[in-house]
Amino acid sequence: MLPRTLVIHHRCDGCNLTRPAGVEPFIKWPGGRAQVSWLLGGVNEGNPCNADAYHGFKGLDLQVVDLAAGFR
């Protein structure tokens, strides 16, 4: 069984492996044990699968840390 899980995802993530459309099926899979926090904004530069893009939450560090640290 999946433990309670927080998915932090960027609405504009352009990486082919982590498209936003894949989040909803994952959230439904464990029957309510997962939740998502969506982010917008930040910086999007270069390869969409790297840290300098939305995929890496560039420019959103504080928001990501706050969400993760506050998850209980």
pTM of the complete model: 0.91
Give CA separation, 47 vs 5, 14, 16, 58, 65, in Å: 28, 9, 11, 12, 23
Query: Taking 90 as the threshold, does the pLDDT of residue 1 lie above it?
Result: no
pLDDT given for residue 48 in this prediction: 97
Task: Return the pLDDT at 3.
Answer: 93
Residue 2 has pLDDT above 90, yes or no: no
What tens digit of pLDDT does each residue of 5-42 get? 999 999 999 999 999 999 999 999 999 999 999 999 99
pLDDT tops 90 at residue 54:
yes
Alpha carbons 24 and 34: distance in angstroms, whole number: 10
